[in-house]
Amino acid sequence: MINRFLLSFVLMFSGCALSHTGSGVRGSLAPGQSVQIVATSDDHDPGIKNAISSELAQRSIGTVEQKAQGALSLTYYDDWKWDLVMYLWTLDLKLSDATGRPLATANFHHKGLHSFPNNRLVVKTLFEKWDEAGVFKR
């Protein structure tokens, strides 16, 4: 009886994983560059844009509201689900150069059962993945 309980418990909570990935072209973003942040989901959370702006500012990268000459583009797609409250299910980031050529991507996805992730912490973790990949020039 206890073995069945343990097996059920392990199977139920083994899917309780989160995935954070990030990759990109080394040195794609240098201090002083400008980035336009664009949400691609209809019901996006403006808090995600604020967290992205904050992470860029920490790396001395500026943001612009309108596409400026030579500005890079950082698009994000956030998907939310309902449980007791809304929670972030997926966040995809894509950094592109002025011509639209992709330079870096980062993704957050729930796998199986979920937690209630902090949006700012998810964005911070994705930017850390870009740091590890060398996307930001130092």
Residue 114 within any structural domain of the chain: yes
Supply the pLDDT for residue 8.
Answer: 42
CB 126 within 8 A of CB 106: yes
pLDDT digit string, tens, across residues 80-89: 888 788 888 8
CATH of the domain at 93: 3.30.160.670
Residue 28 within any structural domain of the chain: yes
pTM (predicted TM-score):
0.82
What is the arithmetic mean of pLDDT over 68-93? 89
Supply the pLDDT for residue 37.
Answer: 95
Supply the pLDDT for residue 87.
Answer: 85
Give the chain's domain count: 1
Residue 10 within any structural domain of the chain: no
Q: Collapse the DSSP code of 16 into the 3-class scheme (helix H, G, I; strand E, B; otherwise coil) and give the result.
A: coil
CB 78 within 8 A of CB 91: yes
Residue 5 within any structural domain of the chain: no
Tell me how far apart the alpha carbons of residues 116 and 119 are, in angstroms, rounded to a whole number: 9
Residue 6 within any structural domain of the chain: no
Indicate if the pLDDT at residue 75 is higher than 50.
yes
Residue 138 within any structural domain of the chain: no
Helix runs in 15-110, H state only: 46-58
Supply the pLDDT for residue 85.
Answer: 81
Residue 95 within any structural domain of the chain: yes
**What range defines the domain where residue 94 resides?**
16-133
What is the arithmetic mean of pLDDT over 97-120? 85
